[in-house]
């Protein structure tokens, strides 16, 4: 099996990365794909908590075993969420998070690609060495922006760096469900402001008032029947996005 590494990133925090990672995992699992969610938001990751998964193992234990020649198989470090979705959790202790160096990332990804169809990597929004390595080794990166001027300006700077460095394997999602009072800037104006295309939009209708109820129950929104019924428009946009992210046609550079 040669799975695909799909990372979800952003230039500002709190834009809906983790929520989108979980939503995508739900969609891929319905396509009967084997999914691994890797929580690389190392200091404040929320994948295991959001899914109410009590993990005994995490990424730190994995790299620690690798460094000490104790590592045997990836399976020993992941925790199952359902039949198709496993997670590789972030460490609970920041002192352990600090020890996860970027040089481990290619190895972790290579191991994951052998066992899973899709490897979804959740990140934090700081473009440090870890994040740049994740993006470099991703089949595709989804950048999420919200309707916010500072966010547009930061995205513009990043897109100009991508142009300079010939980085092309990314798509951009505008998430209007996070800040529903702020969808007054038109897509056309946003494109001009960021100097790039908006590939997908999650509408303000997808604002889920009682989202915490789902988090409490460890539920994935896209696997919930009533969410699928009441938000069919946004769900079908997300399904298209999920397919595009793993589709060769959207990749413009080799890795």
Ligand X SMILES: Nc1ncnc2c1ncn2[C@@H]1O[C@H](COP(=O)(O)OP(=O)(O)O)[C@@H](O)[C@H]1O
CB 142 within 8 Å of CB 250: no
Q: Residues 6, 9, 11, 16: which binds ligand X (CB under 6 A)?
A: 16
Task: Give the range of 14-22, 54-62, 103-111, 185-193 binding ligand X by CB under 6 A.
Answer: 14-22
We find the least distance from the C-beta atom of residue 143 to ligand X, in angstroms, to be: 11
Residue pointed to by tokens 């040669």 = 2
Residue with structure tokens 């460890």? 218
Q: Is 147 or 177 the residue whose CB approaches ligand X more closely? A: 177
Kindly tell me which of 238 and 245 has the beta carbon lying closer to ligand X.
Answer: 238
Smallest gap from residue 252 Cβ to Mg ion (A): 27
**Closest approach of Cβ 211 to ligand X, in Å?**
4
The answer to whether 66 and 73 have CB atoms below 8 angstroms apart is no
What is the secondary structure of 88-100 as a DSSP string?
EPPPSSHHHHTT-
Is 231 one of the binding residues for ligand X (CB under 6 A)? no
As a whole number of Å, the end-to-end CA separation of the chain is: 18
Q: Does 66 interact with ligand X (rule: CB under 6 A)?
A: no
Q: Is 17 in the site for Mg ion (CB under 5 A)?
A: yes
Report the residue number, 61 or 130, with the smaller CB distance to ligand X: 130
3-state secondary structure of 192: helix
Residue 17 binding ligand X, by CB under 6 A: yes
User: Judged by CB under 6 A, which of 5, 6, 11, 15 binds ligand X?
Assistant: 15
**Residue list 23-62, contact with ligand X (CB under 6 A):** none
The half-sphere exposure of 155 on its side-chain side, counting CA atoms within 13 A, is: 30
DSSP E strands in the chain: the ranges are 4-9, 35-39, 79-80, 85-88, 118-122, 140-145, 170-175, 200-202
Gap between the Cα atoms of 62 and 20, Å rounded: 25
Identify which range of 56-64, 81-89, 133-141, 207-215 contacts ligand X by CB under 6 A. 207-215
- Side-chain-side CA neighbours of residue 38 (13 Å): 29
Of ligand X, Mg ion, none, which one sits near residue 4, judging by CB under 5 to 8 A according to partner kind?
none
Q: How far is the CB of 14 from ligand X (least distance, A)?
A: 4
* Contact set for Mg ion, span 185-244 (CB under 5 A): none
Specify whether the CB–CB gap between 56 and 79 falls below 8 A. Answer: yes
Which of residues 99, 207, 228, 244 is near ligand X by CB under 6 A?
Answer: 207
> 149-164 vs 187-194: helix axis angle to the nearest 10?
50
Q: Which of 18, 55, 141, 201 binds Mg ion (CB under 5 A)?
A: 18
Q: How far is 88 from 47, CA to CA, in rounded Å?
A: 9
Does 177 sit near ligand X (CB under 6 A)?
Answer: yes
Binding site for ligand X (CB under 6 A): 10, 13-19, 177-178, 206-208, 211
Instruction: List interacting residues with Mg ion (CB under 5 A).
Output: 17-18
């Amino acid at each position: 099996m040669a799975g695909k590494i799909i990372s979800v990133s952003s230039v500002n925090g709190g834009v809906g990365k983790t929520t989108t990672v979980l939503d995508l995992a739900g969609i891929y699992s319905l396509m009967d794909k084997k999914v691994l969610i890797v929580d690389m938001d190392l200091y404040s990751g929320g994948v295991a908590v959001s899914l109410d998964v009590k993990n005994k193992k995490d990424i730190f234990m994995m790299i620690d075993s690798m460094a000490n020649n104790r590592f045997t198989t990836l399976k020993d470090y992941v925790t199952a969420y359902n039949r198709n979705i496993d997670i590789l959790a972030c460490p609970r202790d920041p002192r352990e998070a600090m020890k996860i160096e970027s040089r481990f990332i290619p190895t972790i990804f290579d191991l994951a690609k052998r066992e899973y169809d899709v490897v979804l990597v959740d990140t934090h929004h700081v473009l440090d060495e870890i994040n740049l390595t994740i993006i470099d080794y991703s089949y595709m990166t989804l950048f999420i922006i919200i309707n916010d001027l500072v966010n547009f300006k930061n995205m513009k700077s990043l897109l100009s760096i991508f142009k300079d460095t010939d980085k092309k394997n990314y798509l951009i999602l505008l998430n209007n469900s996070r800040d529903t009072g702020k969808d007054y800037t038109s897509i056309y104006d946003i494109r001009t402001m960021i100097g790039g295309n908006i590939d997908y939009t999650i509408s303000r209708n997808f604002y889920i008032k009682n989202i915490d109820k789902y988090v409490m129950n460890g539920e994935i929104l896209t696997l919930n029947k009533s969410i699928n019924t009441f938000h069919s428009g946004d769900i079908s946009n997300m399904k298209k996005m999920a397919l595009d992210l793993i589709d060769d046609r959207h990749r413009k550079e080799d890795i």
